[in-house]
Amino acid sequence: MHVGNYLGAVKNWVRLQHEFESIICIVDYHAITVKYDPAVLRERRREMAVSLLSAGIDPNVASLFVQSQVPEHTELAWIFNTVTPLGELERQTQFKEKAQRQESVTAGLLNYPVLQAADILLYRADKVPVGDDQIQHLELSRVVARRWNSLFGRPTGRLTEDGAEEREQFFVEPEPVLTPTRRIMGLDGQSKMSKSLGNTIGLLEAPEAVWAKLRPAVTDPKRIRKTDPGTPEVCNIYHLHKGFSALPTVEHVAAQCSSAGWGCIDCKKVLAESIEQELVPIRRRAAELAEDPGEVDDALAAGAAHCRVLARETMNEVRERMGF
């Protein structure tokens, strides 16, 4: 997990887990839609669990589990494949972007959002916290729910406004809960922070490593000399300040930048301090979990056990309505 994931999603989930019954899934079946090494997959799955727990996901409050431990996800994804229009999948922006970067495109990459729809609808979730880049996938989940309901929902005995037979809304059409933090750009200032682009700061990285990455990070490209006033809004360092620094510091950064009151290195030093302050307890918790691996196993096992019960209930109903 990198700080982009943390600020853009996980920090929000930590708050939401106390407001909603929350299900958080480590999506290892999604991870295999690109080339991968099984040993690394195992390692990363573990690291993700440790990062989530260290960042504040509480297994006594939310259900945290690994997707492949609840096989109903793939069963429901297959069922949804049979009702998802191919054109909808081919239009997905993320598919088009990812497909461009690959020599040969697999069906798994195309069907990735169908598995996402299954992840959500399996628990008949009504709200999904997402960034704006996931809105299109969530919309697809709504299409899938609507299509399936219209084909297999039980007739209610009433008529719709246009005179058709009304069907039960077995699957709820999930609504997005937009993440308050805008998406975090990578240190190259070019694209979204992403592990595959190598422009990230890891959540559990040591302070020296964080500074080694922050120091050369791209800032406002028009601020060439220290005496040039900058535009904080176009600078990714400023947006990281918004995620990590207290409001008075963020205001100070904006004022110092736009008046050329300091240089970018001064600004980055303050950011490094703010990041450090936020990450110290997270790193401490990660170290404790490394000492006691059983705690992670127990959390994931309890989450999977709870989710299997929910998933089975949904699938029993789905199978019955579909003639199995």
Q: Which residues does residue 65 pair with via DSSP β-bridges, in sequence order? A: 25
How far apart are the C-alpha atoms of 45 and 297, rounded to whole Å? 12
Catalytic residue, candidates 11, 96, 127, 192? 192
* CB nearer ligand SF4, residue 80 or residue 238: 238
Does residue 2 interact with ligand SF4 by CB under 6 A? Answer: no
Pick from 238, 299, 311, 314 the residue near ligand SF4 by CB under 6 A: 238
How far apart are the C-alpha atoms of 226 and 205, rounded to whole Å? 29
Name residue 242's amino acid: K
How far apart are the C-alpha atoms of 220 and 212, rounded to whole Å? 19
How far apart are the C-alpha atoms of 66 and 21, rounded to whole Å? 17
Phi-psi region of 316 (alpha: psi -120 to 50; beta: other; left: phi over 0): alpha
Name residue 135's amino acid: I
Pick from 4, 59, 232, 303 the residue near ligand SF4 by CB under 6 A: 232
Q: How many CB atoms neighbour CB 51 within 10 A?
A: 23
Residue among 259, 251, 223, 220 nearest 237 (CA): 220
How far apart are the C-alpha atoms of 113 and 90, rounded to whole Å? 11
Catalytic residue, candidates 127, 195, 213, 242? 195
Does residue 68 interact with ligand SF4 by CB under 6 A? Answer: no
* CB nearer ligand SF4, residue 28 or residue 276: 276
Q: Which stretch in 10-18, 79-87, 155-163, 227-235 sits in contact with ligand SF4 by CB under 6 A?
A: 227-235
Does residue 257 interact with ligand SF4 by CB under 6 A? Answer: yes
Number of amino acids touching ligand SF4 (CB under 6 A) = 13
* CB nearer ligand SF4, residue 83 or residue 270: 270
* CB nearer ligand SF4, residue 55 or residue 257: 257
Pick from 193, 264, 282, 307 the residue near ligand SF4 by CB under 6 A: 264
CA atoms within 13 A on the CB side of 232: 21
Biggest CA–CA distance in the chain, Å, is 74
Q: Which stretch in 27-35, 107-115, 229-237, 243-251 sits in contact with ligand SF4 by CB under 6 A?
A: 229-237
Does residue 235 interact with ligand SF4 by CB under 6 A? Answer: yes
Pick from 237, 304, 307, 318 the residue near ligand SF4 by CB under 6 A: 237
Q: Which residues does residue 25 pair with via DSSP β-bridges, in sequence order? A: 65
Does residue 240 interact with ligand SF4 by CB under 6 A? Answer: no
Pick from 119, 205, 220, 278 the residue near ligand SF4 by CB under 6 A: 220
Q: How many CB atoms neighbour CB 254 within 10 A?
A: 18
Does residue 223 interact with ligand SF4 by CB under 6 A? Answer: yes
* CB nearer ligand SF4, residue 137 or residue 239: 239
98 belongs to the catalytic site: yes
CB 197, min distance to ligand SF4, A:
20
How far apart are the C-alpha atoms of 285 and 303, rounded to whole Å? 20
Q: Which stretch in 18-26, 132-140, 202-210, 231-239 sits in contact with ligand SF4 by CB under 6 A?
A: 231-239
Backbone phi, then psi, for 39, in 5-degree steps? -65, -40
Which residue do the tokens 């390692």 mark?
Answer: 43
195 belongs to the catalytic site: yes
Which residue do the tokens 């056990």 mark?
Answer: 305
Does residue 50 interact with ligand SF4 by CB under 6 A? Answer: no
Catalytic residues, which ones?
98, 192, 195
Instruction: Point out which residues bind ligand SF4 (CB under 6 A).
Output: 219-220, 223, 230, 232, 235, 237-238, 253, 257, 264, 267-268
